[in-house]
Amino acid sequence: MIEELRHIYPLHILFRIMAISKSSYYYTRKAVNKEDKDITIKSYIKTVYHKNKRRYGYRRITLELKNQGILINHKRVKRLMKIMGLYGIMPKAKYKSYRGDMN
């Protein structure tokens, strides 16, 4: 609501009328812009993930993005993949006999 009215009235008056602190306004405004950054990175991650048939985990996706010129921390890739529910397919463990040879 403040965004529509800020072009008509000064911000300090809007803050006083709506009983919102100036820091809260700028904090939420910054948080909205941060979500926009995550949306573009999420699309890159999803593209790499599906291009490689869901076999890549966060480490390989980070390397692939780095090779494409997109520098991003592996922890951020891991966090975003967890939010989107993307997990790399892990190979199943092969059966190993615990007894060994009977000779």
Domain ranges of the chain: 2-84
Residue 3 has a pLDDT of 81
Please give the residue that has the higher pLDDT: either 50 or 102. Answer: 50
Question: Is 71 exposed, middle or buried, given 0-12, 13-18 or 19+ CB atoms closer than 10 A?
Answer: exposed
**pLDDT number for residue 100:** 65
Nearest C-alpha neighbor of 50 from the set 17, 84, 10? 84
Mean pLDDT, rounded, for 28-37: 76
Residue 15 corresponds to which tokens in the numbers above?
Answer: 């803050």
Average pLDDT of every residue of the chain: 89
* pTM beyond cutoff 0.85: no
Rounded to whole angstroms, the Cα distance separating 90 from 48 reads 17
What sign results for the dihedral spanned by CA atoms 69, 71, 75, 76? negative
Model pLDDT, residue 57: 94
Confidence of residue 94 (pLDDT cuts 50, 70, 90): confident
For tokens 């800020």, the residue is 6
